[in-house]
Structure 1
Amino acid sequence: MDDGTWVDPAGTTDITFGKLLGRYKESVTQTKRSRRSEEYRIGKIMRHKIAEYSMRNLTTSILAEYRDQRLKEASNSCVCRELATISAVITHAQREWGLSINNPAKLVKKPRLPPGRNRLLKPAELDRLLHELNAERHELRSKWLVPLANLALETAMRQGELLSLLWRHVDLERRVAYLPITKNGKDRYVPLSSAAIAILKSLDRVDERVIPISQNVVLCAWPRACKRADIEDFHFHDLRHMATTRLAQKLPNVIELSAVTGHSNVQMLKRYYHTTPEELALKIG
């Protein structure tokens, strides 16, 4: 009354959370590079009973109950992503769709995230893994798996970046590879070491892609090779951790290192750099 304004609550707070999720999924999620994972996440939330609540009745306690229930079924990091998505949907509705609603997700305590992975292979383990990935040992194995793994170790590029890398974006004379789209939405140039250049020169150009295989090939072959090599709990993405740790020894400057690896901030870079007290003792003399 003092401001001379009035908002009809029936048009905002009575809308169900499920309708907001559906609208967000159709209009916002489709514009994101990570739309597949977010579509799956939103679809899972829409099948939960919290989607039936109106925004008037969707409270912090209800979302806290949802969090506790999901923690019995999923990991802490998975639940954190779901809560972040819920908060993002409501915030977007507030800012972009002009809905006068509260965001109870901002007050929900997030589960504690687990520490970053620190699984690095010893030289003997790496040799066994590359030996098992070698196509010459079995006619059904892809010949692209070994160069893919070696390029990941030399460049610290992500699996998706390597599988989408095109020959026209590789300049062997300048020793750089151009990535027009990366995980954080920015393009970047990746410097290529002499070993990376040698790997690229040894590859057959059978396609516009440098590594002409699908992600599904890697998903199927990787755990099998690890099992044959008697290596437990090692993911393809752990190669990026190993590569970052190696590069840090050559590039002590954090800004230069992040420019190579493509990390958007130093805090995230720290999760990928792993060293030992013995190595640090040698450095300080």
Structure 2
Amino acid sequence: MGFITERKKKNGAITYTAQIRINKGGIIHSEAKSSPDKKFLQHWLFVRERALAEHGALEALKHSGTTITAVLEWYEKDFDGMTKFGRTKLATIKQLKKSPFLAELDATKAEASDFIRYARERRASGVAGSTVNGDFIWMRSALRSARLARGVNVNLQALDDAAQLLRSERVIGPGKKRDRRPTLDELEALYRLFEKSDNGRKSKVKMRHLFLFALFSGRRQEEVCTIRWDDIDERRQGVLVRDMKHPREKIDTFCYFTDQALAVLKNVPRTDEYIFPYNSKTVSERFTKACKLLEIKDLRFHDLRHECVSWLFELGWDIPRVSNVSGHRSWSSLQRYTHLREHNPHNKYAGWWVLDELFNQ
């Protein structure tokens, strides 16, 4: 596989060149080293040939210089159109591809210390540990894809070792589950503000009924803005939520309405094929702006879904019945709410004037 040639210089000095040439499995590799010391080159040749004979060594050389960013781009190209990456996953991959550190890091030579440095720098910039944990999850998926689908000899163990240490030191980890629930005073303040803005001439996004529908149906903001009137089944008192988000896939899911959600819909005028024909990001921005104006702290639109599920359990509903409204396919996701059924059933919204107004219209 390797050989040494001798060459005499013009001054009479002797120099030697050791050469290695390999053509194996479609991989062509060659390298050489020169020295006046023949014994040194013999030793180098012996050591280098053994190293190249190891499993995956040639594959690593073939892809040497392939950055983590390049691997992420491959991952998007190879699988995104096939599996429909979710919004969070796509956003994470987009952010990772912009990292100057990962754009320089060789995927075939990266060590655990490199990934640890990346995580520490991200945390030092103010990013939450749960966000960086997500970075590691999708980096691992991309690296694993590169190894299996493209034959790149990446060192997954280095990433796993780094993640294990970082999690044990609590530098990264899963995010805390939110328990923020709006009070009746906060909901009334939002309702009055949205009612006022909806009646204004400049308002293009009507939020009053939209936010109440989200509150009593448990629908996410993307779902609220994509439900069509034709998706509603009045006989069964429910709706077909198309491409509903689930942990591993998006699938059409039929969800039942609470009486309160149905009452809201009966007050919504039909002006479009969609019930709420608005951009979901605009809805989120309007809700956030309203909370800021009213000085309502740490309340997000998604918290309305959490509030709906919590309220149903407080009414005494069991997991199967709640899941029929929320759309959860896995009942384990609802286990954290079951403590709410341990108390006597009660209705937080009993006698609430906003609902009385809706049912009496």
Q: Which interval holds the TM-score relative to the shorter structure?
A: 0.7 to 0.9
Q: Using the alignment, how far apart are the partners of 2:268 and 2:217 within structure 1? A: 16
Q: Using the alignment, how far apart are the partners of 2:70 and 2:198 within structure 1? A: 54
Where does residue 112 of structure 1 map in the other structure? 173
Q: 1:158 aligns with which of 220, 231, 235?
A: 220
Displacement after TM superposition at 1:79 (Å): 0.9
* Aligned CA distance change for structure 1 residues 152 and 33 (closer, same or farther; 3 Å): farther
Q: Using the alignment, how far apart are the partners of 2:113 and 2:280 within structure 1? A: 40
Q: 2:102 aligns with which of 50, 55, 58?
A: 50
Q: Name whichever of 212-221 and 74-83 sits farther off.
A: 212-221
Displacement after TM superposition at 1:256 (Å): 3.3
Displacement after TM superposition at 1:212 (Å): 1.1
CA contact (8 A) 1:94 1:100 kept: yes
Displacement after TM superposition at 1:32 (Å): 4.7
Q: Using the alignment, how far apart are the partners of 1:274 and 1:218 within structure 2? A: 30
* Aligned CA distance change for structure 1 residues 102 and 132 (closer, same or farther; 3 Å): same
CA contact (8 A) 1:251 1:257 kept: no
Higher RCO, 1 or 2 (CA under 8 Å, sep at least 6)? Answer: 1
Within a 5 Å distance, the mapping from 1:119-158 to structure 2 comes to 119-134=180-195, 135-136=197-198, 138-142=200-204, 144-158=206-220
3-state SS of paired residue (2:240): strand
Displacement after TM superposition at 1:14 (Å): 5.0
Measured against aligned partners, the alpha-carbon deviations of 1:78-129 in whole angstroms (never above 9, x if no partner) come to 1111111101101112233333332132221341334211111111221111
Give the structure with the higher percent strand: 2
Measured against aligned partners, the alpha-carbon deviations of 1:155-198 in whole angstroms (never above 9, x if no partner) come to 11111011011111111222110012011212211101222222
Within a 5 Å distance, the mapping from 1:197-212 to structure 2 comes to 197-212=262-277
Q: Which amino acid aligns with 2:92?
A: R
Displacement after TM superposition at 1:57 (Å): 1.5
Q: 1:95 aligns with which of 113, 137, 148?
A: 148
CA contact (8 A) 2:198 2:206 kept: no
Aligned-pair Cα RMSD in Å: 2.7
Q: Structure 1 unaligned runs (5+)?
A: none
Q: Structure 2 unaligned runs (5+)?
A: 1-49, 346-361
TM-score (norm 2): 0.69
Q: Using the alignment, how far apart are the partners of 1:123 and 1:75 within structure 2? A: 31
1:170 maps onto 2:222 in alignment: no
* Aligned CA distance change for structure 1 residues 210 and 227 (closer, same or farther; 3 Å): same
Where does residue 69 of structure 1 map in the other structure? 121
Displacement after TM superposition at 1:51 (Å): 2.8
CA contact (8 A) 2:198 2:208 kept: no
Percent identity between matched residues is 21
User: Who wins on radius of gyration, i.e. which is larger?
Assistant: 2
